[in-house]
């Protein structure tokens, strides 16, 4: 008996989660609309003063994207636990951590990527200079996968508990502080014409670390969640 | 030619439990359970509600950690799950089907993870379990019995030696029950083994099955 290779299994997982997301396309649009509305509130609350909005634009977009991702995070494993798909995944002759990494990748593709696509629009609404946009997008490309990975660990840890949504936010947001500091730091530095590569490099290093460790932590946490 | 190994592999049980016990928060769920299951054998797990049938199934599948006692897979201690991985197929109360996907899409994922038996395809499996014509219907629209049948199609498709079936007859009609019995008989005839937990009376034609009695 030969179980299928890793590539086949990874492709099957990724395809499954992307198909499921496509069947529920409305859910993909939700975080995007949320981010649009939240960003729109800032000029109303602070007044249409150009210099003020420009100064806060990078930070506002980053925090808004973070909060929008938080909305969709809760659903990452919950439906799989409810319908027993996770049990089948745990029992499959494939490394669980890798399969979960595919799930996290699918989740990032369906929630974070649309947000990154509209990020220049959000930043434009707050008059962020066009020259800074590439740095903003780069910072988002590095920081959103970290949020997905950190979030996945916490979702796995809180799996099966009631009111896990609020608990998740309370646990995840403090962990996001360094991510926000470095990402916003890069955007601010680029806005002031300073070198912005250092914070980006730090984000990249942290992302690599999380890419390796987060799926393993997720797998361990979900095994414990099932063993109860 | 060298002499064949003296230990005949057929005499080694596929799965053996010695003094297996499980506690949930200091409360014993079951204690000192012993059984041997060889290839080609069927064991029925019997017991009242709450006697630990599902718990036992989940332990054997590797979802729960055993408290005391030992499990052996083909004569070797089953400490690390990689020894039997892919050889055990577990069908529990939760069927593991995605409601938004069709039966064939659901089965294709299982095949991508577990691999496929020879000479079966998703179409032929769905035809055999009586769901041809429903290939592309979303599972959400199927009845409880039809969903169960989709999960049963995994038994036909996936290459596993030991089947752990928790209430396989639930929600099934008369032909569905006959289908489960037929699947079991074919599987045992091909050298597989199965553990079945069920409340219903199992009418099984392939000889008298072993009975494992659970006490609360």
pLDDT at B7 over 50: no
pLDDT tens for each residue of A187-215 = 999 999 899 999 999 999 999 999 999 99
Q: With an 8 Å Cβ cutoff, are B112 and A12 in contact?
A: yes
Tens digit of pLDDT at every position of chain A (228 positions): 567 888 989 999 999 999 999 998 888 899 999 999 999 999 999 988 888 999 999 999 999 999 999 988 888 888 888 888 998 898 888 889 999 999 999 999 999 999 999 999 999 999 999 999 999 999 999 999 999 999 999 999 888 777 777 888 899 999 999 999 999 999 999 999 899 999 999 999 999 999 999 999 999 999 888 887
Task: Please determine, for residue B154, whether its predicted confidence score (pLDDT) is greater than 70.
Answer: yes
Q: In this complex, do B98 and A20 lie within 8 Å of one another by their Cβ atoms? A: yes
Using CA atoms, how far apart are residues B118 and A119, in angstroms rounded to an integer? 50
* Nearest-CA distance B57 → chain A (Å): 12
Q: B112 and A9 in contact by Cβ < 8 A?
A: yes
Highest-confidence segment of A55-64, B10-19, B194-203: A55-64
Distance between CA atoms of residues B46 and B214, nearest Å: 6
**Which residue among A11, A85, A87 places its CB closest to the CB of B63?**
A87
Average pLDDT over residues B59-72: 83
The arithmetic mean of pLDDT across residues B108-122, rounded, is 86
- How confident is residue B200, by pLDDT bands cut at 50, 70 and 90? low
Query: For position B206, what pLDDT does the model report?
Result: 62
B74 touches chain A (CB under 8 A): no
- Beta strand pairing status for B193-197 and B42-46? parallel
Find the CB nearest B96 among A4, A8, A83.
A83
Q: What is the DSSP string of B10-64?
A: GGS-SEEEEEEEEEETTEEEEEEEEEEE-TT-EEEEE--TTSSHHHHHHHHHTSS
| pLDDT tens-place string over residues B35-45 | 888 888 888 88
Site from B29, B98, B122, B150 to mutate, A interface, most A CB atoms within 10 angstroms:
B98
**In the predicted model, is pLDDT for residue B3 greater than 70?**
no
The percentage of residues in chain B with a pLDDT greater than 70, rounded to a whole number, is 88
End-to-end CA, chain A: 31
């Amino acid at each position: 008996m030969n179980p299928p290779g890793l590539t086949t299994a990874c492709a099957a997982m990724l395809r499954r989660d992307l198909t499921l997301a496509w069947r529920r396309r409305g859910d993909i649009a939700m975080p995007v609309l949320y981010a649009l509305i939240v960003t729109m509130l800032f000029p109303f609350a602070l007044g249409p003063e150009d210099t003020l909005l420009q100064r806060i634009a990078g930070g506002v977009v980053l925090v808004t994207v973070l909060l929008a991702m938080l909305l969709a995070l809760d659903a990452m494993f919950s439906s799989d636990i409810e319908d027993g798909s996770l049990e089948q995944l745990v029992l499959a002759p494939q490394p669980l951590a890798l399969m979960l990494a595919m799930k996290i990748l699918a989740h990032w593709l369906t929630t974070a990527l649309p947000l990154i696509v509209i990020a220049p629009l959000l930043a434009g609404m707050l008059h962020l200079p066009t020259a800074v946009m590439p740095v903003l997008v780069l910072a988002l490309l590095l920081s959103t996968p970290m949020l997905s990975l950190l979030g996945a660990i916490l979702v796995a840890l809180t799996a099966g508990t009631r009111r896990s949504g609020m608990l998740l936010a309370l646990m995840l947001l403090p962990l996001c502080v360094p991510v926000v500091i470095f990402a916003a730091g890069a955007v601010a530095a680029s806005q002031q014409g300073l070198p912005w590569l250092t914070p980006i490099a730090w984000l990249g290093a942290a992302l690599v670390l999380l890419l390796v460790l987060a799926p393993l932590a997720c797998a361990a946490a979900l095994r414990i969640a099932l063993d109860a | 030619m060298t002499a064949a190994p003296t230990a005949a592999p057929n005499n080694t049980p596929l799965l053996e439990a010695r003094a297996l016990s499980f506690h949930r928060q200091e409360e014993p769920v079951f204690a000192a359970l012993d059984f041997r299951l060889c290839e080609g054998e069927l064991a029925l797990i019997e017991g009242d509600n709450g006697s630990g049938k599902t718990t036992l199934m989940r332990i054997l599948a590797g979802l729960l950690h055993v408290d005391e006692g030992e499990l052996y897979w083909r004569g070797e201690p089953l400490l690390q799950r990689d020894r039997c991985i892919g050889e055990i197929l577990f069908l529990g109360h939760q069927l593991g089907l995605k409601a938004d996907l069709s039966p064939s899409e659901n089965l294709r994922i299982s095949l991508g993870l577990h691999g496929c038996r020879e000479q079966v395809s998703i179409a032929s499996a769905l035809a055999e379990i009586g769901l041809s014509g429903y290939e592309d219907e979303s599972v959400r629209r199927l009845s409880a019995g039809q969903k169960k049948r989709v999960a049963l199609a995994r038994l036909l498709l996936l290459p596993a030696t030991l089947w752990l079936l928790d209430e396989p007859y639930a929600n099934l009609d008369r032909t569905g029950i006959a289908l489960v019995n037929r699947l079991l008989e074919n599987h045992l005839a091909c050298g597989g083994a199965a553990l079945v937990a069920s409340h219903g009376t199992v009418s099984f034609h392939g000889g008298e099955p072993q009975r494992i009695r659970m006490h609360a």
